[in-house]
Structure formats: structure tokens, C-alpha cells
Amino acid sequence: MAQVQEQEPKAKNEDAGNAAPGQLNYDNAPAAPVADNGRKRKIRFILLAVLVVAAIASIPIYSYYAARESTDDAQVDGHLIPISPRINGTVLEVLVNDNQHVKAGQPLVKLDPADYQVALAQAQAQLATANANTSESSVNVPLTNINTRSQIDTSRTQVEEVRAAVNSAQQAANQAQANIGSAKAALDARQADYEKAQKDLIRYKDLVAKDEISKQEYDAADAAARASAANVEAAKANVTVAQRNFDKAMADLGESRARLQTAQVLEQQSAQIRPKQQEASQARFQQAQAEVQQRDANVKQAQLNLDYTVLKAPVDGVVSKKSAEPGMQLAAGQEIMAVVPLTDVWVTANFKETQLKKMHKGQKVEIEVDTYGRSRKYTGHIDSIAAASGGRFSLLPPENATGNYVKVVQRIPVKILLDPGQNDDERLLPGMSVTPVVLLNN
């Protein structure tokens, strides 16, 4: 351009030099600068107009994108329900294949039930035995009460009988003691008569020697003295007999009292033992009842184990990752397949932390799936925002307190739920990549 501009004045100068003398050169008139200025103003006006039009046109575009936040770091999530046996066993039959749709409760795998059928029969037999023991114990409880009551009544009767015998022996002892007193009194009387008779015999012996009394009177006095002596001996014998009777009565009384003490001890022991026997009988009955409950629980557990030989689908879904085969030995908890419920899926979008300023629960979301492109859009809404960044939940979370620090924008997981009816055809599968667009002004 500079060269062209330089050539134009040079040509004009040459034309001016070639002009005839006295001829005016109108090309050098001042009209050229005026034309250049007009062109420049026109260009400026056009540029300004373009800028104004571009600014006006960018307003709705800016408004459109300022009210939206999107990310391509998002994918479809869902439940991957593992299927594993609750017991050990051998696979008898596999009833499903990979990618097969199943309904909740549909049998998936059958294990060999033989061992668990035997265990159930044993548990049922033990339960029957426990029920029989409980019935026997329930009968023994009232029998024990009756027997202990009868023992107490018998002990009380024996105590009363022995107490009556003690009273009778006491009366006999009192009577024997009274008899001793009577015999001793009779002995004293006979002793007094004997002494009087001896004194009379001595007087009569002197009188008969002096012939003051007759021989007959002396013989009568001698006979009276002998009779008195015999009476004294008889009275002594009566005293001895009365003493013996008293000793015997006292011995009987002591024996009766000993028997009474024994009967009272037995009565007390019976009264003390009765509640313990009743408690023991009741405890045996309760133990039998507890055993019945335990055996019943064993039967229920055996029945559950038998039911566990059939593995069923917990929910409606699609079978995936099937590894079970007939004859395979399984341990409790060993995963053999998974069921994916495709009707319960959601989107997990990892937005940058700088995108969450105006984002909150309930905002509408438009979702594009990479598999189907723009041909189909899904709608949903924000259900929740994670409580921490994804890095915090990683196996090795970042530690910014050590080494050189480089600030990195973190991503926060946002859970997006689909609106009802959006995935009735079950075309959204867990793991699919999606691009959600959050409508911030909604």
C-alpha cells in the first residue's frame, strides 16, 4: 500500500511536468483529501454499526449461556445388586442367563437341598422331644405342689399327735409324782403306827412280866407290832413302785418331747423345702419351655436354610456378571451374579466448584446422552449436592500441607434424578456418559 501511495504522487508529478505551459493542472486541487476523509467516516460508521449489531445480538446469547451450567464429566449411575448365597452349597441348576430380564422373586439359582432337608428333619425331631419333656414337666408342677402340701399336712398331724402324747406323758408323770407323795405319806403313817406298836409292845412286855396284863393282850400287842412292821414294808414297797412309775413316766415324757421336737423339725423342714421343691419343679418346666423355644428356633433356622437353597431376584432388573455354573461349590457370601434395576437410575455430574455458585436443589436439568446424541434429550432435576469433593472420597485424598502446592479446581458430585417416565424404555444404562445442562434461572 505504501508503494502504491508513493507511485501515485510520482505519476501526478510526471503529468504535471508534461502539461503544456500556461495550462492549469486541476488534478492537484485539494478535493482528494476531502474524499479520503469521507471514506474513512463511512468505514468508521460501518464498523460502529457492526459492533452495535454484534453487541445487541450477543445479549440473548450471553443471557442464554449465563443461565446454564454444563459438564461432560457425568455418567449414568444405578444400583448394582450383588447376588450371593447365604449358605454353603453346591449349584444344582442355574435358571437365568446374562442380560436376561427378571422379576422380583423370580428364582435365579438352585442349590442342592439334601443336607438342609436332613437338618430340618433332625430339628423337627428335637422339637417333638422338647415338647414331650415340656408336657411332662407341666404335669409334674401340680403333682409336686400336691406332694409337698401332703408332706406338710402329714408333718403337722404328726406334730399334733406327738404333742398329745407329750401332754398324756406329762399327766402320767404328774400322777406318778402324786402317787409318790401319797406312798411316802402312807409310809410315814405306817412308820408312826409301827413305832407306836413297838412302844406298846415294850410296855406290854413289862406288864406281862409283872402279870399286870394277860398273856393274850401281850400277844395281841405283839401281833399289832408285827402287822405295823409289815405295813411299813408294804408302804416302802409302794413308795418304790411309785418312784419307778414316776421314773418311767418321766422317761416316756422325755421320749415324747424328743419325738415332738423331731416332728416339729420335720414340719419346719417340710415348710421350708416345699417352696424350693415348687421352685425347682417350676424351673424344670421353664427350662423345658426354653428348650422348646430353642428347638423351635432351630427348626425355623433349618427351614430358612432350606429356603435359601433357592436364590431369588430381590428386584426387577437385568442379570449381569453371571459366574454360577452347575456343580460349582459356593460359600456363603460368594458373589455369583448381579441384578441391575434399570428403572432406578440417576445421573452423577461432577461440576467444577466454580460452577456451583447459583446451583441448588430442585433446579431443572436437560440431559444429552452420548449414545443417542441430540436426537433425544432427557429431563430431570437436581436431587442433592455432595458434602465433599470427589478427591476427598478417593483412596489417597490430596494432602496440601506438604510439598509444593498447586491450586487445582475441584469437582463436586451432583446427583440428578430423572423426571417420571423418562426412562420407561430402560435405554439409560449405568456407566453411560452424558452431558447435563442445569437451568440456573429455573
**HEC per residue, 170-183:** HHHHHHHHHHHHHH
Listed range (56-65, 306-315, 396-405, 410-419) with the worst mean pLDDT: 56-65
**386 Rama class: left (phi>0) / alpha (psi -120 to 50) / beta:** beta
Q: Is residue 342 part of a domain?
A: yes
Pairing of strands 337-340, 310-312: unpaired
Q: Is residue 146 part of a domain?
A: yes
Is residue 295 within 8 Å of residue 123, measured between CB atoms?
Answer: yes
Q: Which amino acid is at 103?
A: K
Q: How far is CA 257 from CA 161, 169, 268, in A?
A: 11, 9, 16
Is the domain of 390 the same as that of 431? yes
- Residue range 260-289: average pLDDT? 76
Is the domain of 105 the same as that of 252? no
- The C-alpha cell that represents 9 in the structure block: 504522487
Structure confidence by residue, pLDDT tens digits, 247-262: 887 887 788 788 778 8
Query: Position of cell 434399570?
Result: 342
Count of domains in the chain?
2
> Exposed (0-12), middle (13-18) or buried (19+): which is 299, by Cβ within 10 Å?
buried
pLDDT at 316: 95
Is the domain of 281 the same as that of 337? no
Is the domain of 414 the same as that of 351? yes
Nearest in space to 429 (alpha carbons), one of 321, 304, 343, 354: 343
Is the domain of 103 the same as that of 139? no
Q: What is the spatial distance between Cα 197 and Cα 190, in angstroms, rounded to a whole number?
A: 10
User: Where is the domain boundary, 270, 286, 302?
Assistant: 286
* Domain range for 218: 125-286
Residue 66's pLDDT band, with cuts at 50, 70 and 90, is low
> Exposed (0-12), middle (13-18) or buried (19+): which is 43, by Cβ within 10 Å?
exposed
Q: Is residue 326 part of a domain?
A: yes
Listed range (4-13, 215-224, 342-351) with the worst mean pLDDT: 4-13
pLDDT at 16: 41
Q: CATH no. for residue 191?
A: 1.10.287.1490
Structure confidence by residue, pLDDT tens digits, 15-29: 444 444 444 444 444
**294 Rama class: left (phi>0) / alpha (psi -120 to 50) / beta:** alpha
Residues 6+ apart with CB under 8 A from 225: 194, 197, 198, 200, 201
User: Where is the domain boundary, 239, 266, 286?
Assistant: 286
Q: Is residue 19 part of a domain?
A: no
Structure confidence by residue, pLDDT tens digits, 42-55: 888 888 888 888 87
Is residue 302 within 8 Å of residue 120, measured between CB atoms?
Answer: yes
Q: Is residue 61 part of a domain?
A: no
Is the domain of 235 the same as that of 346? no
User: Where is the domain boundary, 286, 304, 332?
Assistant: 286
Q: Is residue 143 part of a domain?
A: yes
Q: Is residue 426 part of a domain?
A: yes
Is the domain of 154 the same as that of 272? yes
Is the domain of 97 the same as that of 168? no
pLDDT at 225: 80
Is the domain of 282 the same as that of 141? yes
- Residue range 171-177: average pLDDT? 81
Q: Is residue 29 part of a domain?
A: no
- Residue range 218-234: average pLDDT? 82
Query: Position of cell 402279870?
Result: 211
Q: CATH no. for residue 367?
A: 2.40.30.170
Is the domain of 386 the same as that of 420? yes
Is the domain of 99 the same as that of 220? no
3-state secondary structure of 102: strand
Structure confidence by residue, pLDDT tens digits, 368-398: 998 888 778 999 999 999 999 888 888 777 7
Nearest in space to 88 (alpha carbons), one of 240, 355, 308, 245: 308
pLDDT at residue 287 tops 70: yes
Q: What is the spatial distance between Cα 337 and Cα 82, in angstroms, rounded to a whole number?
A: 6
Is the domain of 166 the same as that of 80? no
Nearest in space to 440 (alpha carbons), one of 70, 68, 74: 68
pLDDT at 33: 61
Q: Which residue has the higher pLDDT, 114 or 1?
A: 114
